[in-house]
Amino acid sequence: MAELSPLIIDLTLILVVAGIFSLLFKWLKQPVVLAYIVAGIVLSFFIKKETPQFENIETWADIGVIFLLFGLGLEFSFKKLMKVGATAFIATIFIVGSMIGIGYLTGMCFGWSHLTSLFLGAMLCMSSTMIILKVFDDLNLNSKSFTKVVLGILVIEDLVAVVLMVLLSTVAVSNQLQSSEMFISIFKLVTFLLFWFILGTYLIPTFLRQMKRFLNDETLLIIVIAFCLGMVYLATRAGFSAALGAFIMGSILAETLDSERIDHMIIPVKNLFGAIFFVSVGMMIQVTAIGQNIVPILIISVVVILGQVIFATIGVLLAGQNLRTAVSSGFSLSQIGEFSYIIGALGLSLGVIEESLYQIIVSASVITIFVTPFMMRLANPTIRVLENKLPEKWQRILNKDTSGTQFVNHENLWKNFLKRMITTVFIYYLICVIIVSFSLKYGVPWVQHHLLSGFNGNLLVAVILIIVISPFMYSIVVNRDHSEEFMKLWKDNKANRGPLIFTIVFRIFMCAGLIMYILFILFHANFVIELTITLIILVLFLTSRRLRSQTIRMERRFKENLNEKEKYEASKSPVTRGFVNHVLERDLHLSDFLIKPYFSIIGKTLKELNFRQYFGVNVVTIIRENARINIPNGDERVFPGDHLVILGTDKQMELFQHRLEEKRRKYEKMEQKEVCDVLMRQIEVEADSYLEGKTIKTSCIQENYNCLVVGIERNKTSILNPGFDLVFEAGDILWIVGEYPNIKKLRDL
């Protein structure tokens, strides 16, 4: 008799227990993440850490981390990182730095080691994207302006968490904090991220476009998971974690036109394996140890809640936001996030933190997640108290800048030229360095062993290597020399020509140095010979029309791939980016409201509704299926399924949303009532009964019992759709249509 694999048995056990608790927590209206953690705690009573079963669960949990980080990467995108603005960057750096510091001090107060305290600080500085998004949705806060600031902070925190994982791994392995090793680790991480982001952006969107006609959902899912696991393999081979590889591939795919489709398909996979991961987190908790660690658990919970509220509020204020936005953001971030579990698991696997700390963090996380909705509700009362108690002078100082995340930047031509030139040169030169390093380390031994040995093998590698890096070399030397800024600087003032020529010469020297390095490593030739060959190669580069056209095509494809999603979204956007920036400077923002079929405004014209008079908001656009009505006139009616793009302040939006939510709450109460099926049943009219001698009209069957008489059988004849004046007689069989409870009441008569 065939036996079932223990791996499948363990998976079955995890999913059964997780399913039971997820239903229970849904009924209790609590986050499902907590259900998985509690399920893990229950399983820990039956599956001990020392058993082979636990190893199987750890394998499933490792897969869970990969898909969890892949899903986060799909929501991340490096383009989104560049758009979140200075507010999110400044606030995040302040929050993360402050929370790491307060976490480190808390650990030292408990008498823990420096390394353990450092890991504690890293675990406390991350908020939960999953929980915040769910609570925003539950509390209908998505239309608030502060939510954009919070989401921007969460985006940058995701990247900071990835960096922290690499840095903490380095510190844990060396068991000391050395600036040189930290610098090398950061450089390796940035290099790895940049190289694969550029290569992935250049290749993957093009591949998806070319294969679009073959990519149904099944094939696309398989290919996407293959991309994910392939990057996981490359990341681990490079000395990074599997989670980092999954995150990078997710962020690359987030830039493609198919990102929403991919995200939609990957959600079930992410949810499945994410549940397994959170169950494994719960299994690390020993209930008996919670009582022993209750004091650290409560203290750390208070440190997280108060620390995030205070430091996030200050951080957002420092970034230029007003008091209301800052306080609302601070109260939203007051929980321990999913990345904290991953950082804790990393510390456990490296053996640098004790298991008790992991249990303390998870227990404190449960507490902070539970209080998150209540903290968000406390934001408005706190704002009112501060507005009433703070002196007007302080309030004017705190509210001095409400310009949002955008800042007006008056750069002169030199700054603009240098910024773009340095960015281009850095990226292309870094790619060349990576290609050269990999080729010399792995390419030369392979060629020498499998193809050609000695001088001929090195010559082959040198030729191929120089051909591969030639487009990047060409871009480094001449890319910005045909730009609008360069030409204006050259023509406007002759004094600019010397510095401009210097930038060209400097770039030529950079390229020459890299080529000479290749020749020296491969041939150990004389300096004069190397310099002569290098100059010949550079002249060939600069005079080659074919190389020029190839470089232009390569750059054009990269820019198209990088910006295709942004252009597509801009074409679908109801307003331009410039208009958004303009209204942000005036403390206004845009929100999209979906009109449900049960809203009371259905069928009315904008003139009748008069939103501006009652709420102070303006309807900028109505999106109706594929049609867009910009600046609609007063005769335009509102229909179910319309998207109203509303312009207004936070308070105005709140009033408008409250009007819509009144109808929604009434509808939700109706939906909660038990809905019965409509049935057809026979009822006999007995002698001396309530119905005998009455007509359909006088019996009030429809009015009182919500039922219809659709037919009567009398003396072996059938009367369909009888008239309202037909008198019921004893022995009649009535055909009644209605809900069962109503038919039963009628029959009891």
The tens digit of pLDDT for each residue in 357-380 reads: 877 888 888 888 888 888 888 888
Model confidence band, residue 563 (pLDDT cutoffs 50, 70, 90): low
Residues 6+ apart with CB under 8 A from 490: 496, 497, 500
d(CA 290, CA 310) in angstroms, rounded, equals 28
Looking at per-residue pLDDT, the higher value among 9 and 414 belongs to 9
Average pLDDT over residues 536-545: 81
Specify the pLDDT at position 443: 82
Give the model confidence (pLDDT) of 178-192 as tens digits: 555 666 666 777 777
Average pLDDT over residues 732-741: 88
Looking at per-residue pLDDT, the higher value among 168 and 296 belongs to 296
Q: Find, among 357, 245, 257, the residue nearest to 568 by Cα.
A: 257
Specify the pLDDT at position 403: 41
What sign does the dihedral 185-191-197-200 (CA atoms) show? negative
> Is 80 exceeded by the pLDDT of residue 694?
yes
> Is 70 exceeded by the pLDDT of residue 667?
no
Model confidence band, residue 588 (pLDDT cutoffs 50, 70, 90): low
List strand residue ranges (DSSP E) for 674-728, in order. Answer: 678-684, 708-714, 717-720
> Is 60 exceeded by the pLDDT of residue 449?
yes
Name the residue with tokens 């499998």. Answer: 450
Specify the pLDDT at position 423: 74
Specify the pLDDT at position 664: 57
Out of 158-167, 174-183, 257-266, 302-311, which region has the weakest mean confidence (pLDDT)? 174-183
Specify the pLDDT at position 142: 65
Residues 6+ apart with CB under 8 A from 305: 334, 335, 368, 371, 375
Phi-psi region of 616 (alpha: psi -120 to 50; beta: other; left: phi over 0): left
> Is 60 exceeded by the pLDDT of residue 595?
yes
Question: β-pairing, 733-739 with 717-720?
Answer: unpaired
Using DSSP's 3-state secondary structure scheme, residue 637 falls into strand
Specify the pLDDT at position 499: 74
Single-letter residue type at 147: T
CB 323 within 8 A of CB 399: yes
Average pLDDT, the chain: 78
> Is 70 exceeded by the pLDDT of residue 113?
yes
> Is 50 exceeded by the pLDDT of residue 210?
yes
DSSP H or E stretch at residue 738: strand 733-739
Specify the pLDDT at position 132: 81
Out of 160-174, 218-232, 237-251, 536-550, which region has the weakest mean confidence (pLDDT)? 160-174
**Total Cβ atoms within 10 A of residue 708:** 16
3-state secondary structure 81-139: HHHCHHHHHHHHHHHHHHHHHHHHHHHHHCCCCHHHHHHHHHHHCCCCHHHHHHHHHHC
Out of 76-90, 416-430, 492-506, 720-734, which region has the weakest mean confidence (pLDDT)? 76-90
CB 641 within 8 A of CB 616: no
Out of 136-145, 440-449, 575-584, 699-708, which region has the weakest mean confidence (pLDDT)? 575-584
> Is 70 exceeded by the pLDDT of residue 523?
yes
Model confidence band, residue 2 (pLDDT cutoffs 50, 70, 90): low
Q: Find, among 361, 317, 537, 508, the residue nearest to 425 by Cα.
A: 508
Give the model confidence (pLDDT) of 9-65 as tens digits: 878 888 888 889 888 888 887 777 778 888 888 887 777 666 766 777 777 777 887
The b-or-e profile of 676-697 (16+ CB within 10 A means b, else e) is eeeeeeebebeeeeebbeebbe
Specify the pLDDT at position 80: 60
Residues 6+ apart with CB under 8 A from 642: 594, 595, 622, 623, 624
Out of 449-463, 620-634, 655-669, 727-741, which region has the weakest mean confidence (pLDDT)? 655-669
> Is 70 exceeded by the pLDDT of residue 747?
yes
> Is 80 exceeded by the pLDDT of residue 139?
no
> Is 60 exceeded by the pLDDT of residue 471?
yes
d(CA 230, CA 211) in angstroms, rounded, equals 19
d(CA 593, CA 572) in angstroms, rounded, equals 16
Backbone angles phi, psi at 151, to 5 degrees: -65, -35
> Is 50 exceeded by the pLDDT of residue 120?
yes
- This prediction has a pTM of 0.63
Model confidence band, residue 409 (pLDDT cutoffs 50, 70, 90): very low
3-state secondary structure 301-350: HHHHHHHHHHHHHHHHHHCCCCHHHHHHHHHHCCCCCHHHHHHHHHHHHH
Specify the pLDDT at position 406: 39
Give the model confidence (pLDDT) of 450-470 as tens digits: 878 788 888 888 888 888 888
Specify the pLDDT at position 160: 81
For residue 140, give both structure tokens.
Answer: 């209908």
Backbone angles phi, psi at 416, to 5 degrees: -65, -45
Single-letter residue type at 697: K
Out of 267-271, 502-506, 624-628, 712-716, which region has the weakest mean confidence (pLDDT)? 624-628
Beta bridge partners of 711: 720, 735
Specify the pLDDT at position 407: 36
Average pLDDT over residues 651-672: 63
Distances (CA, A) of 351 to 278, 355, 357, 447, 477: 21, 9, 12, 41, 49
The b-or-e profile of 607-616 (16+ CB within 10 A means b, else e) is eebebeeebe
Looking at per-residue pLDDT, the higher value among 222 and 213 belongs to 222
What is the DSSP-derived secondary structure letter of residue 195? H
Average pLDDT over residues 130-159: 75
Compute the chain's Rg from CA coordinates.
33
**Total Cβ atoms within 10 A of residue 484:** 10
> Is 70 exceeded by the pLDDT of residue 681?
yes
> Is 80 exceeded by the pLDDT of residue 708?
yes
Number of H helices, E strands in the chain: 32, 8
Specify the pLDDT at position 497: 67
Specify the pLDDT at position 567: 65
Beta-carbon-side half-sphere exposure of residue 533 (alpha carbons within 13 Å): 18
CB 281 within 8 A of CB 103: no
Specify the pLDDT at position 84: 56
Name the residue with tokens 């001095």. Answer: 400
Out of 184-198, 250-264, 315-329, 651-665, which region has the weakest mean confidence (pLDDT)? 651-665
For residue 340, give both structure tokens.
Answer: 């904290």
For residue 654, give both structure tokens.
Answer: 């709140």
Specify the pLDDT at position 481: 53
> Is 60 exceeded by the pLDDT of residue 416?
yes
What is the DSSP-derived secondary structure letter of residue 314? H
Using DSSP's 3-state secondary structure scheme, residue 625 falls into coil
> Is 70 exceeded by the pLDDT of residue 339?
yes
> Is 50 exceeded by the pLDDT of residue 225?
yes
> Is 60 exceeded by the pLDDT of residue 446?
yes
Using DSSP's 3-state secondary structure scheme, residue 307 falls into helix
Average pLDDT over residues 639-657: 79
What percent of the chain is modeled with pLDDT above 70?
Answer: 82
